[in-house]
């Protein structure tokens, strides 16, 4: 596990690769194409790139219009603005009419770091989950991001892809990727961790450490948060009885709630959520912020033991 790459970088590369074979793909950005990595697509296919300027609401409308003309628009900006500021445009202009627009938003979560709480989207998954018919994917590394982008091109309908600023581990093992199908990365019997995105690597490391203490922990990468893989969630929750969810997102509205929604009424489970505990983010180095907000390997180990 040596290579480090941000999911946003992989996204930019995937757009260029897929843009070469599919001329229906168009890309929109709101003056952040360098940060979101859509600038690569803009350079390769200038006719199919539209900069909306610093006007996210209009960008969503333009994407909706392009979708009605048979194109597959990818819109990118920071997750804060793409899902927050332009929420109602996404909801009414894209979600309500089920248009084939892909919202690929970068700099999600607190690992955005130094820019601080105003720019750290910790509620984006929740906002997108509230929209009927919205597919939500949170890839854990660069390889999964590329597969996810391809899968989103191949599916019809609105989707949200959550991307990160921070370079993260690229897993050596090539994981399978099927939209809507969670990946069991490590089997276990005492507890299961359902996780996504940046947290996946930490959860795997935590599980290894716990194994040395004879605690057998399953790690399931729930890359598709909506529609969630109910079957895998139920199977592993029933098998292990103790359930932890881990996400770089508010504990309100995200993966933890999505898993809880599956488990309600399905039996008795010991259940905890790791995430941002109803606080705003703040400036800091990503590693310091992960410690401050309780998202480290150590926090995961302790949470499993507390189940």
Partner 1 sequence: MNRLELEATCKQVRRDIINMTADACSGHPGGSLSATEILVALYCREMNISPEKMNDPDRDRFVLSKGHAAPALYGLLGELGYFDKSAFKTFRQLGSILQGHPCRDYCPGVEVSTGSLGQGISIAVGMALGARLAKSPARIFALCGDGELQEGQVWEASMAAAHYKLDNFTVIVDHNGLQIDGTNDEVMSLGDIQGKFRAFGYEVIQIDGHDFDQIFAAFDRKVTGKPKLILAETIKGKGVSYMENQVGWHGKGPNEEERQIALKELED
Q: What does the alpha-carbon distance between residue 260 and residue 257 come to, in Å, rounded to a whole number?
A: 5
- Contact assessment for residue 241 and residue 235, using Cβ atoms and an 8 Å cutoff: no
Residues designated as active site = 56
Ramachandran area for residue 169 (φ above 0: left; ψ -120 to 50: alpha; else beta): beta
Residue 185: strand, helix, or coil: strand
Sequence-ordered alpha helix ranges (H) in the chain:
7-21, 33-36, 39-44, 56-68, 79, 87-89, 124-129, 142-154, 199-212, 230-240, 255-263, 286-292, 297-306
- Contact assessment for residue 287 and residue 224, using Cβ atoms and an 8 Å cutoff: no
Ramachandran area for residue 6 (φ above 0: left; ψ -120 to 50: alpha; else beta): beta
Return residues touching partner 1 (CB under 8 A): 26, 47-48, 50, 52-53, 55, 57-58, 60-71, 73, 88-89, 92-93, 96-98
CB of 18 to partner 1, least distance (A): 17
Q: What does the alpha-carbon distance between residue 232 and residue 258 come to, in Å, rounded to a whole number?
A: 13
- Contact assessment for residue 206 and residue 236, using Cβ atoms and an 8 Å cutoff: no
3-state DSSP helix/strand/coil % of the chain, to nearest 5: 40, 20, 35
Q: Is the peptide bond before 135 cis (omega within 30 degrees of 0)?
A: no
CB of 128 to partner 1, least distance (A): 18
CB of 91 to partner 1, least distance (A): 9
Specify the residue, 62 or 199, whose C-beta has the smaller distance to partner 1. 62
Specify the residue, 98 or 291, whose C-beta has the smaller distance to partner 1. 98
CB of 273 to partner 1, least distance (A): 33
DSSP character string of 16-27? HHHHHH-TTEEE
CB of 22 to partner 1, least distance (A): 14
Residue 225 main-chain phi, psi, to 5 deg: -85, -25
Specify the residue, 9 or 15, whose C-beta has the smaller distance to partner 1. 15
Specify the residue, 92 or 282, whose C-beta has the smaller distance to partner 1. 92
Specify the residue, 93 or 256, whose C-beta has the smaller distance to partner 1. 93
CB of 46 to partner 1, least distance (A): 11
Specify the residue, 70 or 265, whose C-beta has the smaller distance to partner 1. 70
How many Å separate Cα 232 from the centre of its chain?
A: 18
């Amino acid at each position: 596990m040596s290579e480090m790459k941000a999911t946003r970088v992989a996204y930019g590369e995937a757009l260029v690769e897929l843009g070469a074979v599919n001329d229906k793909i168009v890309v929109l950005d709101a003056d952040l194409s360098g940060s979101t990595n859509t600038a690569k697509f803009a350079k390769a296919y200038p006719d199919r790139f539209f900069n909306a300027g610093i006007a996210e609401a209009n960008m969503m409308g333009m994407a909706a219009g392009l979708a009605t003309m048979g194109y597959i628009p990818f819109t990118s900006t920071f997750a804060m603005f793409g899902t927050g500021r332009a929420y109602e445009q996404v909801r009414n202009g894209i979600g309500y009419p089920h248009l084939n627009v892909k919202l690929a938003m970068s700099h999600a979560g607190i690992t955005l770091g130094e820019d601080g709480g105003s720019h750290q989207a910790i509620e984006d998954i929740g906002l997108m989950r509230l929209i009927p018919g919205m597919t939500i994917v949170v890839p854990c590394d660069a390889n999964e991001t590329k597969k996810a982008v391809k899968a989103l091109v191949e599916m019809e309908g609105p989707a949200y892809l959550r991307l990160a600023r921070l370079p993260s581990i690229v897993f050596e093992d090539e994981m399978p990727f099927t939209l809507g199908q969670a990946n069991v990365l490590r089997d276990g019997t005492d507890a299961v961790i359902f996780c996504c995105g940046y947290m996946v690597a930490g959860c795997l490391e935590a599980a290894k450490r716990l194994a040395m203490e004879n605690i057998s922990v399953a790690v399931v990468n729930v890359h598709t948060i909506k529609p969630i893989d109910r079957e895998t969630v139920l199977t592993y929750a029933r098998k292990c009885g103790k359930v932890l969810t881990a996400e770089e997102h508010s504990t309100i509205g995200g993966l933890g709630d999505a898993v809880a929604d599956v488990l309600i009424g399905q039996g008795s489970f010991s259940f905890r959520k790791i995430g941002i505990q109803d606080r705003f983010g703040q400036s800091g180095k990503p590693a310091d912020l992960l410690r401050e907000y309780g998202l480290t390997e150590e926090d995961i180990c302790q949470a499993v033991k507390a189940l």
